[in-house]
Structure 1
Amino acid sequence: MITAPGNRIQQHFGRYTPQLYIALATLLVGILFGVLAVGTLSMADKLSLLGYLRRFLNLEAQAPTYHHIFRQALADNLKVLGLLYLLGVSVAGMPLVMVIVFFRGFVLGFASAFLVTAMQWQGAGVGLATIGLTNIFVLPALVIAASVALGFSWDLISPKRRQEGVELARGFAFFTGLVVVMAAVTLVGTALESYASPFLLHFLSNWGV
């Protein structure tokens, strides 16, 4: 019986639901560790980071940057997706996928917690204009790609799945297409990071941030 393409996509997503929960749990653990890491900083470290942050915000307030950070940010984000793809099609890629998701969560938790701790409500505004705006698109793309990478990597080492050659080929096609779609979503998030965030920082500077 022929299965509609939409049903096939739903079946693939349903198959990787446990891996999605694992990726989300890993991300949350990384965020938690990032938040806790802020408390381990010495006063000198906090002042040094705050000084660097203030210089960056002052620079953006005077002359917002747009074009020159887009290519670099997009290249960095696409490299992460490409790495997840390579790890997903390899047999031993699952642990490294978890490491990437954990590290992304750690950076997100650390940056958010430091902004709020060091700058109170001003830091919350800066965090929403930069970290929050960017990760509306980039973070879900990363988590979805990572969860399917975990699932497909597991399919490669599962004896039962390896015997189902046709299903494995379909899974590979689904994984490849998904990464392409997530790259497009990442492009939108990177555009927000490169164009909207500097504009918002420039706007917030008029309110004393």
Structure 2
Amino acid sequence: MKNNKGFKNIIEHMQKNLILYSITLLFLCIGIVLGMYTVKYMNENQRSRLMDYFINFLTNIDLNKINNKHIFIEAFKNNIAIILAIWFLGLTMLGIPIILIIDLIKGFTLGFTASFVINVLGSKGLLINLIAIFPQNIIYIPCIIIASAIAMEFSVILLKHNVSLSVKNNNFIQIASYSTMFLLIAGFMIIGFLLEGYIIPNVMKLIV
């Protein structure tokens, strides 16, 4: 019941803060495009070195020895760190620019990785993107967008009303509500961690 209420709150939040969501999505898309263009306009020396490293990695990897638990933990640490950073920045009055930079970097990483894999492996790279890169990011990206918009809204409220985080201003209730939304987002991201850690490696084994 609480989860349904949480999702309903997120939908209402999206409707009320369409501009914030649009800005977040814009920065994410700019990052993706920049990542793709970075691959396209890399000089031959850089491209060759990265291609050699990537192909060597694919050649020597032993799918039967993949540590699923380790991948799960790394996915958890990397993405929860992003969510925690966004949560913390939302508690400040000047966190919005840094939140948008985080979105930009996330988009850049995704765009660069997807574009580079296709650039190196061609049609096989497209298959790897569809199987190994996109599934978990279908979970991660919406979560990061929602978290960014929630944090920016909270930061705007602090800035607009010049609110200090103190007991006198009765802000602990607001912070608790704000933090609960992030806990819900982090909980939903566990689906992505499971995909990345356990399901995708096993699918890759079957394909190989």
Q: TM-score, normalised by structure 1?
A: 0.84
From 192, 203, 209, give the equivalent of 2:206.
203
Aligned residue pairs, count? 200
Matches within 5 A, 1:151-170: 151-159=153-161
In structure 1, C-alpha distance between the alignment counterparts of 2:111 and 2:105, rounded to whole Å:
10
Report if the CA contact (8 A) 2:6-2:184 is conserved.
no
Q: Which range moved further: 170-179 or 123-132?
A: 170-179
Distance change (3 Å), C-alpha of 1:166 and 1:137: farther
Distance change (3 Å), C-alpha of 1:194 and 1:6: closer
1:97 aligned partner: 99
1:75 aligned partner: 77
1:186 maps to amino acid: M
Runs of 4+ in structure 1 off by over 4 angstroms are: 4-11, 165-171
- For residue 8 of structure 1, report the CA deviation from its aligned partner: 6.1
- For residue 73 of structure 1, report the CA deviation from its aligned partner: 1.8
Report if the CA contact (8 A) 1:60-1:198 is conserved.
no
**Are 1:17 and 2:18 counterparts?**
yes
**Are 1:27 and 2:38 counterparts?**
no
Gaps of 5+ in 1: none
1:64 maps to amino acid: I
- For residue 143 of structure 1, report the CA deviation from its aligned partner: 0.9
SS of equivalent residue, structure 1 residue 92? coil
**Are 1:180 and 2:165 counterparts?**
no
1:64 aligned partner: 66
Report if the CA contact (8 A) 2:6-2:181 is conserved.
no
Gaps of 5+ in 2: none
- For residue 16 of structure 1, report the CA deviation from its aligned partner: 2.3
Identity of matched residues, %: 24
